[in-house]
Amino acid sequence: MIEPVLGLIVWSLVVLVWLYARRIPAIIKLRLNPQLLADKRNFRKLPASAQNVAENYNHLMEQPTLFYALCLAIHLSGYADRLFLVLGWIYVGLRVAHTLIQAFGNKIVLRSFIFASSSGILIYMTARTVRLVFDF
């Protein structure tokens, strides 16, 4: 279960670099005082291309924390198997797709479907882990 965790961590760091690659040039182009960004409302002055990547980075710091903890629990419990590994990689793939959709066009219906799908994978993985750990 360590591989999908590392995959999502690497992807999160890629998005972090991408965030700054979009944000810094936008701040320079708009000649914004970076201190103004201490007030979150001022982020709306940045172009959508910079906002969407930053928002997605925040998303990668939210629900995936459950994924990390769950994968650690699966690994430590000794229940890691091929199905969990495949589900873990599917979750990572869906999170990557979610990022790309949000960064390139931000199609809300499609993004919501991908988010719901990744949430469903996480729920199934959790339910399966609970069943295995508590033997029911």
Tell me the HSE value of 58 on the side-chain side, using a 13 A CA sphere. 7
Q: 42 pLDDT exceeds 80?
A: no
Among candidate residues 62, 66, 68, 59, the one with its CA nearest the CA of residue 106:
59
pLDDT, residue 34, reads 83
CATH number of 2-134: 1.20.120.550
What is the pLDDT at residue 41?
A: 81
Q: Structural domain boundaries of the chain? A: 2-134
Burial-class residue 1 by CB neighbours within 10 Å (0-12, 13-18, 19+).
buried
pLDDT tens, residue by residue, 46-91: 888 889 999 999 999 999 999 999 999 999 999 999 999 999 999 9
Question: Mean pLDDT for the chain?
Answer: 94
Query: Can you give the pTM of this predicted structure?
Result: 0.92
Residues 25-33, mean pLDDT to the nearest whole number: 89
